[in-house]
Amino acid sequence: METSVKSKLWYLKQVKLFSDLSDAEMTEMEKMTRMEAFKKRQPIYLPGDPGDFVYLLKTGRVKISKIGDDGKELTLVILEAGEIFGELEMFEEVPRDTIAEALDDAHICMIRREDFERLLKNQPQCSFKLTKLIGLRMKQIENRIEDLVFRDAPARLAQLLINLSTSFGSDTTNGRTITTKMTHQELANLIGTTRETVSLTLGQFRQSGLIIMAKRQITILDLAGLQQLI
């Protein structure tokens, strides 16, 4: 029990949102959170669910998506460990209108809305950081929607690969490898197209010498070449 408490407290201290809190405040934060485990592909919340909790992703990845009028799923953002989600409905006090789903086995800290509201009221610096985070995430979503409207599928996929290499990439001897593994369907959901289109376009990128693929990982060989497609 002691080990699990220390583990959760250590994790909470790594979240940038809480970096200005004192040890005593962090201990109080630890008391108001609970840790939950989610299996791969398990929904965390669905449209219509009440926005009763704010979530902190400890391990794994979480996909936030929305179902369009045509019934197709559009991925809005993929979150990595250390990120917060589910906070927007807290401010507006409305039901969820998005889907949060674990892409891997994940561990998540959950904070009740009223506890999180009290934290923000008592810690203005946290409220300021959260406002900046929400603004940045909304800008990312706006940019993605603009891409869907004004760019064709190859351009959208090229831009996505560049963005992923910036956020989740590491330099290798061949180029820059996207370290997070994603299926063709997950890539398709991110750019609003079909899995078949993504598979075909990735094949074209590979034949053109822009990328190589191995074990669901993509390495960008020619960044400038991808940029010319945008």
* Domain spans of the chain, in order of start: 2-149, 151-228
pLDDT higher than 50, residue 4: no
The Cα–Cα gap between 202 and 195 comes to: 11
Q: Give me the pLDDT at residue 7, please.
A: 58
Banded model confidence at residue 120, pLDDT cuts 50, 70, 90: confident
The Cα–Cα gap between 156 and 144 comes to: 9
Q: What tens digit of pLDDT does each residue of 53-100 get?
A: 999 888 888 999 988 777 778 888 888 888 889 887 777 777 898 999
Report domain 151-228's class. mainly alpha
The Cα–Cα gap between 54 and 18 comes to: 14
Mean pLDDT of the chain: 84
**Contact between 60 and 106 (Cβ < 8 Å):** yes
The Cα–Cα gap between 17 and 28 comes to: 15
Architecture in CATH for domain 2-149: Sandwich (2.60)
